[in-house]
Structure 1
Amino acid sequence: MGTITVERDLMVPMRDGVCLATDVYRPADEGQRPVLVHRIPYNKSIAHYIGSQMLNPIVGAERGYVVVVQDCRGCYASEGVMTPYRQEAGDGFDTVEWAAEQAWSNGRVGIYGSSYMGITCLQAALAAPPHLEAAVAYLTGTNLYQGWVYSGGALELGFNMGYSQGKLLQAVGRLGLDESTQQRLMREFRESSSDRAALCEYLPLSDAPVLREREVLPDWHDYLEHDCYDDYWRETDVVARAAEITAPILHIAGWYDQFLKGHLDLNLALQDHPVAGLRDAHRFIIGPWDHNSYEGHRLTWAGERNFGGQALSGVMGLGDTILQWFDHWLKDRDTPLMKEPSVRYFMMGDTNEWIKADRWPPPNKPTRFFLHSGGMANSRLGDGILSRDEPGDQPADTYCYDPENPVPTVGGRTFSLAAGESGVQDQSEVEEREDVLVYSSQPLERALQIAGNVRVRLWIASDGPDTDFTGKLVDVEPGGYCAVVADGIMRARFRDSFEQPSFLVPGESTELEIDLWDVAYTFKAGHAIRLEVSSSSFPRFSRNANGLVSPERALPEDLRVAQQTVFHDGQRPSHLVLPVIDSE
């Protein structure tokens, strides 16, 4: 192990004169080396944040890199005021080019990051600085409208409200607010932090304590106002602008991470990149993790499910995997990673194993599982059936969705203190509710393996102009444990387009699709496949008021109970689509 030199708080100027505090970790001996950039809004001086994110800068320096760790604009030791996400392309570009020009640099630069740091990484890659030669992003967002701020047109409420609340701590001291305002905001912060779920219930969302001052948290108010996909989101959309990326990307996702959707979409965009060299160069790894796994809290767990030592090869080994990636692109080395196929994914369920493939998704057969019932599929005690047999004449299922008594979020792909634990959680209690339709298959005679996109096609009606429909794929174990596998939501007004909302005609049947995103999972023999259908998952998602007003601007008096209908007859065959891997 060589000696490492650490330089603290170098003030690096950006193009507008604002200086960002930067620490440099490098081998003590003289010489020019490739540089790795890591930009963070959570304080570069806290070892947890820079040392637990899969790649420790000390390890990078020991492997012969100069590692640059920087506080983002408006954060901790850096100057300026933070404008989340939108500032990162320019600041990332300037930091990469600064790093390339230093005496200890050989001009070859890579960038890496997870979560928000992954956004700083991808926004820099989108800006395409000339000296950026490779990037690694993990458990992060790409199109912030899909899977970060919104999903299926519904606000990711628990995460974004909590995250915006946390950003208050940085904003208060930098805006020149008078002392009484600062004291009030900090008091509201403490009070709201003690009951985050209650904060999510506040209406209108724009007037929630701590968040109501636009001058303090303008981005929160922007989110609420831009509930459609528009130019506000296009500016930072890495997926839509993937053709502008000039550096190869390794990106790493988790099946139970709230931000999985961004990686899935980025993967498809990179697989179709117009430059053949980049199209073939990118790598994609998907493991059995939720958002906490990568921080090293519970290395083999997602919620209540332990995926065993196999999962460790994906978590503990990723620091080395990331360095193998940079060794290839920045040091011209022939590394084991680059000899593998482009995709490595974890098959959850029976085998819990890593599988290598040339593309994601792998070849599969989209297979329809139709909804059946005698009109009483309410709760798991109802008569809902999931079968490959097409339905004939059957009565529809109905339920009432009351936004003042929403279905609670229980596990799945969520990341917020308000929503509780993510990952695999038992759905038995949720399935006792009358406003949850439950459709179950017979116990499987043999294992069923799926890998790819899961979606639900529903024929629905509602007595209002807008509402939500949720879908949840569940693995029912012989002992009765009901494990969530995948989940999703569709806000009805966005069923045809996220850019142009289209309201329902009350009482008229229409078709919509709920994207449950992708998964690789094996349902064991003796287990049953289950689909839950409802209209809320709170506080992960904002509650739909069931009217014309945007749920993000609804007042308490706007909330109304909706009468929901799900059809499953010969003319309106609602069904679940599973990407079945043919075992024959």
Structure 2
Amino acid sequence: MLTTGLFAGGLAPARADRQASTPWPGGRWEPGSARYGTTIVSNVPVRMDDGVTLTATVAYPADPATGRRAAGRFPVILQQTPYTDDVNSFFVPYGYIFATVRSRGAGTSGGEFGYVSARDHRDGVRTVDWAAHELDGSNGIIGGYGCSYAGETQLYTAANVGRGSPLKAIIPTCTAQDYLRETFLVNGILTGDFPFLRRAAASVGDTPSAKALFADLVANIESGGDAAYSRDFWRARQPITFAQSIVDNDIPALLWSGWDDVVIRGATEFYTALQNAYHDRPVQAPMDPRQPTTGRYQIIVGPWGHGQGLDNTIMLEWYDTWLKRKNTGIERTDTPMHLYELRTDRWINAARYPIVPDYTTYYLHANGALKPSRSSRGSDSITWAQPSEAGSTLTYSTPPLADGATLAGPVSAAVYASSSNTNLQLIATLADVAPDGTAAPITFGAVLGSQRALDPAKNWRDRNGTIIRPFARLTGDDYLTPGVVTRFDIALHPRLWAVLPGHSLRLTLTTQTPASACTGFNILPCALTAPAQASVAGGAYRIQRGPAWPSSVSLPLLRAGCFRTAAGAVTPTSGGLSQPMDWSAKGPGNPCQR
């Protein structure tokens, strides 16, 4: 999948650092010279335990003078994907075998396509066994590789291989998505990424079983069937529920995402889940502000979208650490989050997520004001229509922040409203407004009124009890009573954003995404299922303010510039994008997290 930027605008690419080349993460490793050439073998059969045969393509180290396979045995980097037979030959000259196995029912692989089904999970375990014990030239040590679907297969495989498996480390990039809260649906509303499902069969080889699965899935979701909710189909495909098993199986993971990725919420929360699992805490809880961290589970988040910003050389260091047991130092850090701060164009390191333990709440006031004090009673009206139409948009702005601020993490809005019909659709957008009035969108979230119910056990709260990341159940519809004021919690996607001195923050409430923004892949709320459309269309809403109905937005604000800048550099394999080079401890001068 590809994605466009927030409101189809995109985020700026990572700025090339002007500094000299810096040491690789950990400071004790260099990629060294490539010793081997590459030779590729296609159409290698991989037999599953039920007799179905998958197809693999294998790249072997070769003698650079003769082109023949090099003598010896090598660790294997394994990609399991429905999309391609291609291999990433970058790793091979450094002494790795790279094997791509096409998923069941995709390409020339046999069997029925299952979309990371339980059967695919078993295939993952069997494929690791094949790569370790049956693949010619393997030394029995395996690493996982791949982005998006191929990242997700790593998670399920790592969760199911058992402790002591040949699988020793994984790099699940652009993955760990929550399909119902950020990828194909956002809290009951179809996203701009949803049309991908209509064309997905072609991307996996147009096999009959893939065509049937995706056609049925699209029809089921659009009609408001079980797949439009958090029921059996998606519950079996919720990566975060497998985090504890990955930790129990002792498999390190390097996650990789971008602030403009379609999986940014899932990736950052999966980091939290792995850290929690390692320290015997509930995997779907927020990390404790005093919780220690482990370098076995790390994440990179840059200023890019889905499938972008991946660096082969940093991945090589991760594989060298865990597959070849080299003393790289990459794992010895107490700040395993490597994050790009938007607007200042710099890398910082953090430890715990959520990053901010005490949120700052701003309340909706009359005349479009957003203030830290509660307002007097009042209301504003908004109608269900395109934002270009009159009466379809409400805005609330803070005073200028004289010293600026750092906004770090997920954002939450609590809106008290009534509807003229039995449902409601609200979209909340947070923007950075410069003194000249220029506005830059930071993040957004949405709620469908009939799926407003939250799971109290999975909500995240700060130390004051404020909900900072609401978790919607999404198991069914509970329709509204017209005219009755109800609370709606909106989860806005996480960001690390520098608010410059003198800038203000603006919360905008709308009821539809501009049609022009829904023409490309993104996770904006763009369309409704049939039952939602029937119950939402034509609605008029009253947004309430005051002591009884304190509509507000809760922000993860820290003082401006409190994170120490970490070194970044453009590497030979970064595609011209800056990558985080200093993964060291937070150290003095970095008071955002102690």
Q: Which bracket does the TM-score occupy, shorter chain normalised?
A: 0.7 to 0.9
Partner Cα distance (1:519, 1:558) in 2: 32
1:522 aligns with 2:498: yes
The letter of the residue matching 1:10 is: V
Aligned to 2:268: 264
1:283 aligns with 2:298: yes
Partner Cα distance (1:322, 1:142) in 2: 21
Partner Cα distance (2:349, 2:409) in 1: 14
**Out of 397, 401, 410, which is 1:444 matched to?**
401
1:115 aligns with 2:173: no
Correspondences of 1:166-565 after superposition (within 5 Å): 166-168=200-202, 174=208, 217-224=215-222, 225-226=225-226, 227-245=228-246, 246=249, 247-273=251-277, 280=294, 281-291=296-306, 294=308, 315=309, 318-373=311-366, 383-393=367-377, 395-402=378-385, 406-407=386-387, 434-496=391-453, 497-537=473-513, 539=518, 551-554=528-531, 560-565=537-542
In structure 2, the CA distance between the partners of 1:275 and 1:360, relative to structure 1 (3 Å rule), is closer
How far 1:515 moved relative to its partner? Answer: 0.4
**Out of 69, 74, 82, which is 1:33 matched to?**
74
Q: Deviations over 1:237-295 (max 9, x none)?
A: 22123222222211112111121121122122112115669973211221121226x1x
- Gaps in structure 2 of 5+ consecutive residues: 1-33, 63-69, 284-292, 454-472, 563-594
In structure 2, the CA distance between the partners of 1:221 and 1:93, relative to structure 1 (3 Å rule), is farther
- Gaps in structure 1 of 5+ consecutive residues: 51-56, 176-210, 295-314, 374-382, 408-429, 545-550
In structure 2, the CA distance between the partners of 1:123 and 1:435, relative to structure 1 (3 Å rule), is same
Partner Cα distance (1:136, 1:171) in 2: 25
Q: Deviations over 1:509-533 (max 9, x none)?
A: 1112100022111111122211111
Aligned to 1:181: none
Identify the range of structure 1 (443-452 vs 138-147) with the bigger mean alpha-carbon deviation. Answer: 138-147
In structure 2, the CA distance between the partners of 1:60 and 1:144, relative to structure 1 (3 Å rule), is same
Partner Cα distance (1:275, 1:555) in 2: 41
SS of structure 1 residue aligned to 2:91: helix
Partner Cα distance (2:488, 2:534) in 1: 28
Partner Cα distance (1:62, 1:170) in 2: 29
In structure 2, the CA distance between the partners of 1:287 and 1:341, relative to structure 1 (3 Å rule), is farther
How far 1:214 moved relative to its partner? Answer: 5.6
Give the paired residue count. Answer: 473
Correspondences of 1:49-198 after superposition (within 5 Å): 57-86=88-117, 87-101=119-133, 102-128=135-161, 130-156=165-191, 158-168=192-202, 174=208
In structure 2, the CA distance between the partners of 1:327 and 1:536, relative to structure 1 (3 Å rule), is same
Q: Deviations over 1:452-509 (max 9, x none)?
A: 2211111111112222211111112234432111111111122223224322221111
Partner Cα distance (1:171, 1:105) in 2: 29
SS of structure 2 residue aligned to 1:289: strand
The letter of the residue matching 1:267 is: Y
Q: Deviations over 1:427-456 (max 9, x none)?
A: xxx6x8531111122332121112122111
Aligned to 2:457: none
Answer yes or no: is the 8 Å Cα contact 2:260–2:304 preserved in 1: yes
How far 1:231 moved relative to its partner? Answer: 2.6
Partner Cα distance (2:60, 2:492) in 1: 44
TM-score if structure 1 supplies the norm length? 0.75
How far 1:81 moved relative to its partner? Answer: 3.5
Answer yes or no: is the 8 Å Cα contact 1:465–1:504 preserved in 2: yes
Partner Cα distance (2:410, 2:204) in 1: 39
SS of structure 2 residue aligned to 1:469: strand
- RMSD value over aligned CA atoms? 2.7
The structure, 1 or 2, with the larger RCO (C-alpha pairs under 8 Å, 6+ apart) is 2
Q: Deviations over 1:382-430 (max 9, x none)?
A: x41222232123x31101104xxx44xxxxxxxxxxxxxxxxxxxxxx6
The letter of the residue matching 1:257 is: D
In structure 2, the CA distance between the partners of 1:342 and 1:63, relative to structure 1 (3 Å rule), is farther
Partner Cα distance (1:542, 1:447) in 2: 30
1:574 aligns with 2:546: no
Q: Going by fraction, where is helix more abundant, 1 or 2? A: 1
How far 1:222 moved relative to its partner? Answer: 4.3
Answer yes or no: is the 8 Å Cα contact 2:176–2:240 preserved in 1: no
Between the two proteins, what is the percent identity of the paired residues? 25
SS of structure 2 residue aligned to 1:147: helix
